[in-house]
Structure 1
Amino acid sequence: MSTLYFSRARLRAGRGEALAPLARALLGIAKGDALAQAHRIVWMLFNDGSERPIVDASGKERLFLWREKSPGEYYILSREAPDNRHRLFDLDTQEFAPKLNAGDTLRFSLRANPVVSLKRAWEAGEEKRDGKGRVRGQRCDIVMAALEPLEGKRTRDKRTEPTDKERLKPTERAEKREAETARVARAWLEGQGRKAGFALVPNPDAEGDKVFLSASNYETVRIPRIRGDGAIFGVLDFEGLIEVTDPALFLARLPDGFGKAKAFGCGLMLIRRG
């Protein structure tokens, strides 16, 4: 596997530093605007500040992952060392090469945009098919997809309100939302693990089929764009314990990230030994 780099980058925002006004602005703007700005700022560590794709000698796009630690501070995992040519950051970069064995237990933290593909051709008014003639699914936030039945039923033309019999009390709805979020979050992460060489660790002290996993702080984020309505996606924070089942596969998969919206601070799994 090629060399990976893990970096901690903090905007130089002290008194008299050129970037101080921007760092203060990041504290006071909406979440989506802040992520859009952070995306552009972190990008500057890997190219000249333009929006051109980052590609290697073969023409393949090079991916880096990042996550906001706090406004103006970022964790970054990359396949090349960041270049602080603009001297905008206090930057600490180290090679990332953990020695892992099958059966190792790791604590992890992951901020992700987990999605599922649903076949909802009627919503677009016509079927969308791929190159093989199959009906294409619509990418959907897993939490939104799970909670939709609690908010009302859909028909071909519109969403209908639940009947009195179907209607839930606020406390019941909150409990169901929490349970459904936990259920789909676990299922999604287990699916990621099967493809990436890890498994969730069972919790022997909990009742039922429980694992060491929490999924919290769900929110939807709107990223503004010059044209159109911008992008909207859901963000969920995962924390818990995983067991490494295939070290080589896990380390190869880690720099690719998990879920979508990786350009906007999602997908980077932070790990440490338990």
Structure 2
Amino acid sequence: MHLTRFRLNTARSGARRLLSSPRTMHAAVMNAFPDVLPTDTDTPRVLWRVDRNAKAEVFLYIVSPAKPDLTHVVEQAGWKERPNWQTYDYGPFLERLAEGHTWAFRLTANPVHSIRRKDGEPTKVTAHVTPRHQAQWLLQRQEAAGFRVLEKPEDQRLLPEGDEHELLVHDRRSNAFDKPEHQPAATANGKRKNRVSLVTATFDGRLEVVDPEALRRTLTRGLGRAKAYGCGLMTLAPAE
């Protein structure tokens, strides 16, 4: 596995076009892997995430089984006379993960749940839209994902409840777009078919490794839904 970081030149119109559409960014990312076919289910999934640290400091992260060739992204959204991306062998880092180690983490995800409004109706996937429910979504999945979000000391909790963990939910976004392989069409109730509505949130926090193998799967296969559209990629950094 490989981890790649690409800095986008936000002064260029091509970068702004990529950042405005998860569908367009997905296409650009997948074009970096000419040997990966859309129907190839045997190859590990390509994960990606956009980090908007500041207006002029925006990074694209990719985790992939093969090294990407992002030359076409440089032409649209990079700098022509400087290195634009770095790719690292992810394997040695993944192998060093051990139970009890603590790390800072970042994850952009699509927090959703299934609801049934009336008895007998099929369930419907619905997005969580409040920071509290989005945080709860992640906490409900932490054990199966191989980690435990660290808890704050009681004297550092600012709220009577909902502030127990070292976890920040931010950069909450809503997006809607049509799938590229279909033409928009209206249904009987006036809604367009093949319309994707996407609610995302970014989680920053600190975690403890409780199951290294499960955490390796999380880091390389993603967490949650909408992975094709920039969700599910968790990365770790040394915890200060």
User: TM class by shorter-chain length?
Assistant: 0.7 to 0.9
Q: Does 1:63 align with 2:45?
A: yes
Note the alpha carbon deviations across 1:83-134, whole angstroms, 9 max, x for none: 45x5544332111132122111111111111111112367xxx744xxxxxx
Matched residues in 1 for 2:97 and 2:35: separation?
35
| Residue of structure 2 in register with 1:213 after alignment | 167
- Structure 2 residue runs of 5 or longer lacking an equivalent are 75-83, 186-191
Match of 1:265 among 230, 237, 240: 230
Matched residues in 2 for 1:69 and 1:187: separation?
22
Change (3 A) 1:30 1:272: closer
Note the alpha carbon deviations across 1:218-259, whole angstroms, 9 max, x for none: 221112343243211111111111111111211122211112
Matched residues in 2 for 1:138 and 1:273: separation?
39
Residues 219 and 235, structure 2, Cα contact 8 Å, conserved in 1: no
| Residue of structure 1 in register with 2:13 after alignment | 24
Q: Does 1:81 align with 2:67?
A: yes
- Alignment RMSD: 2.9
| Residue of structure 1 in register with 2:86 after alignment | 92
Partner secondary structure for residue 38 of structure 1: helix
Matched residues in 1 for 2:115 and 2:219: separation?
26
| Residue of structure 2 in register with 1:104 after alignment | 101
| Residue of structure 1 in register with 2:6 after alignment | 9
Letter in 1 for 2:126: C
Q: CA deviation at 1:37?
A: 1.4
TM-score normalised by length of structure 2: 0.74
Residues 219 and 235, structure 1, Cα contact 8 Å, conserved in 2: yes
Matched residues in 2 for 1:223 and 1:182: separation?
23
Matched residues in 2 for 1:273 and 1:26: separation?
29
Change (3 A) 1:30 1:92: closer
Q: CA deviation at 1:192?
A: 1.7
Note the alpha carbon deviations across 1:188-245, whole angstroms, 9 max, x for none: 1112211111011010032456110111232211123432432111111111111111
Letter in 2 for 1:256: R
Note the alpha carbon deviations across 1:62-85, whole angstroms, 9 max, x for none: 31110123598411011222245x
- Larger Rg: 1 or 2? 1
- Structure 1 residue runs of 5 or longer lacking an equivalent are 15-19, 129-136, 144-180
Letter in 1 for 2:38: P
Residues 115 and 140, structure 1, Cα contact 8 Å, conserved in 2: yes
Q: Does 1:223 align with 2:177?
A: yes
Matched residues in 2 for 1:109 and 1:82: separation?
22
Partner secondary structure for residue 101 of structure 1: coil
Residues 218 and 234, structure 2, Cα contact 8 Å, conserved in 1: no
Partner secondary structure for residue 258 of structure 1: coil
Partner secondary structure for residue 263 of structure 1: helix
Residues 219 and 234, structure 1, Cα contact 8 Å, conserved in 2: yes
Partner secondary structure for residue 188 of structure 1: helix
Count of equivalent residues: 207
Residues 18 and 24, structure 2, Cα contact 8 Å, conserved in 1: no
Residues 18 and 25, structure 2, Cα contact 8 Å, conserved in 1: no
Matched residues in 1 for 2:132 and 2:59: separation?
32
**Percent of residue pairs identical:** 28
Change (3 A) 1:82 1:185: same
Q: Which of structure 1's runs of 4+ aligned residues deviate more than 4 A?
A: 70-73
Q: Does 1:250 align with 2:215?
A: yes
Residues 54 and 62, structure 1, Cα contact 8 Å, conserved in 2: no
Residues 103 and 237, structure 2, Cα contact 8 Å, conserved in 1: yes
